Amino acid sequence: MTDSVAILRTYDEAWNRLRGRLDGLEDHEFFWEPVPDGWSLRPGPGGTWTIDGEGGGGPTPDPVPFTTIAWRLAHVGLTLVDFRERYFADRVIDLDDVTLPGSAQASITFVTEAYSQWRDDIDALPPEAWTSTIGEHFGPYQDDSTTDLVLHVLDEFVHHSAEVGVLRDLYLYRHAFKAD
């Protein structure tokens, strides 16, 4: 039996930590690119925003490009939206189905809404759902359990949230960097 209470508690702790780290985030920091040729959000056609590297869903170059806070928050939000749609709505979406935010505050709202919807849906899962397989919308992972999926999303959420925190720390001390 899955200890869903512990998993949900871990989600809440990770969310509270990320949400606290986002206080005071402004656009110049949100889009800060400390290294060249990184991935971020970019203005697209018709006033929309696009995410470099298809949000992590496309081919990944080697080495993987450095990503901005804008990219990381969009990736977290897209992960939550995508897997929620696949699992709970039985529908595969693509990037054109999601309106990406073009500012720090809009991104915080996007991630907050995506997290709340995902969290509410996994909280409502009946106990037997945690051990059921996730199905064909998950390709080679279709035989994995709901628990596997929820833990995968938690891993994505936690590690990208931690990266946002590190970037915020680096941004604060950016003037102290010394070039090699």
Question: What pLDDT, on a 0 to 100 scale, did the predictor assign at position 179?
Answer: 59
Dihedral (CA of 26, 16, 162, 52) sign: negative
- CB 125 within 8 Å of CB 90: no
What is the band of 180 on the pLDDT scale with cuts at 50, 70, 90?
low
CATH number for 4-175: choose from 3.40.640, 3.30.70, 1.10.3470, 1.20.120: 1.20.120
- Contact in structure between 160 and 75 (CB atoms under 8 Å): yes
Confidence of residue 1 (pLDDT cuts 50, 70, 90): low
pLDDT digits 0-9 by tens, 119-130:
999 999 999 999
> Per mean pLDDT, which range of 92-96, 143-147, 176-180 is the poorest?
176-180
| pTM, rounded to two decimals | 0.94
Return the H-helix or E-strand segment holding 50.
strand 49-51
Domain boundaries, the chain: 4-175
- CA 159 to chain CA centroid, Å, is 9
58 DSSP assignment: S
Residue-wise pLDDT tens digits, 21-72: 999 999 999 999 999 999 999 999 888 999 999 888 888 888 989 999 999 9
Gyration radius from the chain CA atoms:
17
